[in-house]
Amino acid sequence: MTLRGLRSPRSWLVVAFAVVAFGWLSVWVLFFRVGTDVCGDASPTDEELFRCGSIGAEPQLGVPYWIWVVLPDVFPEYLPGPGGYESVGIIWEDGASTPIGVPVVEIGEMQRAGINCALCHTSSYRVTAESEPVIVLGGGSQRFDLQGYLRFLFKSSSDPRFTAGVLIPAIEEVHELSTAERLLYQAAIPAMRGALKSQSEDFAFADRNPDWGPGRIDPFNPIKFGLLGQPEDETIGNSDMMPLWNLGGREVLHWDGLNSSLTEVILSSAIGDGARPKTLDLAVMARLERYILELEVPAYPFEVDDELAAAGAALFQTHCAACHGLDGEQTGLVVLPGEVGTDQERLGMWEQKDADAYNEKYGGYDWGFSSFQDIDGYVAVPLDGLWLRAPYLHNGSVPTLRDLLELPALRPTSFYRGYDVYDPEQVGFVSDVAEDAESGLVFFLYDTTLRGNSNQGHLWGTELSANQKDALLEYLKTQ
């Protein structure tokens, strides 16, 4: 275009529009464009997608990646022990670009770390304290402490040292920032401080309740108070993180049967992890559902006394199969609280008005919810992979299966959670160790006398003789 041509008002308008458009495009590319998921390949397998793929949480709640990387080095005092994020149970396998359950996505010119389903639904165990951990995707995590992780982020971001002057030099020790990145991180640090302050206020209700501890979560109070805007109350929804095996065909899901649709449960979990309607990728959700439906139950890794297990099978049919056998008349259905006798705090957390509000909130979307409900009881779940489900009961209040076969007065009133060394004699994880001497990891002391933590109820099998309990336990190892 010549200078003479630029004298035309219309030409100036075209140029001005082009400059503005280019400017907005640059801003969009720099700050908002959602790019590739740096976790895996351009065409990840379903397993890779589950392990570290994005569920759409990063635009809303993603943490700038290089800040996330250096926080444990800058603020180690806010973690429960040494080892960085491993101290809150995040699993980072050797050679992996990111931890299991922590997707890293490019948004604009900045990578952000989010979370996905695998963070709460990956188990691990060790045969001995010296063994390498065996990772089991789809198991309910017994190590990850979500509340501890959030508290670390909240405390770090409220520390006076959470400034560009401290964090950017720490980042540059491990990553060379480009000029654009440096500008972005200088802007991101105060923004992150404000966002985490707001989020910490949203989670203040949890500080008034007993701590979740490793392997536990209160998944629906944050939805009730945050997304639904319901007034805060004193209810406790603390419960164990559930495994994802054999969910197909279940009539009701969650510990208390809050939904009957696996599709809705997966979508709700993504929203709970920070995804929003405009960032939900329904194709990814469908692939995750397919992967979950194909998950195989992990086999018991230790020797089994076949003769003793055969004797236990007969006892199982008599005392357990009605509620927990694959063809049991009550299996997969809700047992009334008065019958099972376990802690009832979670049952008061969710009411029909909450279910109705959640169903209505996303009613304008094609994938909107319709199956959330309030059921007064706990689901009698099948026992597949039972050996790896410890601790037991919906709130994880009984450390081993052997303890569960004792009367409540004889069960431990306190024990440690978060260790992944397995005890085949007791059928559960080692729970009498406060600290791992080699790594320095500190474990969580679970107190059954606190609200929501009761180990009462579920008296089935407690009347058996010692020899009968041995036989039943041997059989249960094979489930």
- What are the tens digits of pLDDT across the range 304-317? 999 999 999 999 99
* CB hemisphere CA count around 389 (13 angstroms): 25
pLDDT at 33: 42
Give the helix/strand (H/E) hosting 264: helix 262-272
Provide mean pLDDT across the span 158-187.
95
The Cα–Cα gap between 320 and 328 comes to 9
CB 379 within 8 A of CB 332: yes
CB 202 within 8 A of CB 178: no
Alpha-carbon distances of 273 from 53, 315, 354, rounded to whole Å = 13, 42, 19
- Band (93; pLDDT cuts 50, 70, 90): confident
Q: Residue 27 corresponds to which tokens in the numbers above?
A: 């801003």
Provide mean pLDDT across the span 218-242.
94
pLDDT at 37: 57
Q: Residue 392 corresponds to which tokens in the numbers above?
A: 């037991």
- Band (31; pLDDT cuts 50, 70, 90): very low
Q: Residue 411 corresponds to which tokens in the numbers above?
A: 């069960």
The Cα–Cα gap between 87 and 103 comes to 19
Q: pLDDT (tens digit, 9 = 90+) per residue, 53-63?
A: 999 999 888 99
CB 104 within 8 A of CB 197: no
Residues in the chain: 479
% of the chain beyond a pLDDT of 70? 91
pTM: 0.90
Specify the residue for token string 């389903």. 117
Between residues 272 and 16, the one the model is more confident about: 272
Q: Residue 100 corresponds to which tokens in the numbers above?
A: 């299991």
pLDDT at 61: 84
CB 56 within 8 A of CB 282: no
User: What are residue 251's phi and psi, to 5 degrees?
Assistant: -75, -35
Q: pLDDT (tens digit, 9 = 90+) per residue, 362-384?
A: 988 999 999 999 999 999 999 99
The Cα–Cα gap between 300 and 388 comes to 8
Provide mean pLDDT across the span 207-226.
95
Residue 241 has pLDDT above 70, yes or no: yes
The Cα–Cα gap between 397 and 155 comes to 28
The Cα–Cα gap between 467 and 45 comes to 47
Residue 435 pairs in a beta bridge with 442
* CB hemisphere CA count around 204 (13 angstroms): 7
Residue 3 has pLDDT above 70, yes or no: no
pLDDT at 28: 31
Residue type, 406: E
Q: pLDDT (tens digit, 9 = 90+) per residue, 331-343?
A: 999 999 889 999 9
Q: Residue 74 corresponds to which tokens in the numbers above?
A: 């800058």
CB 174 within 8 A of CB 201: no
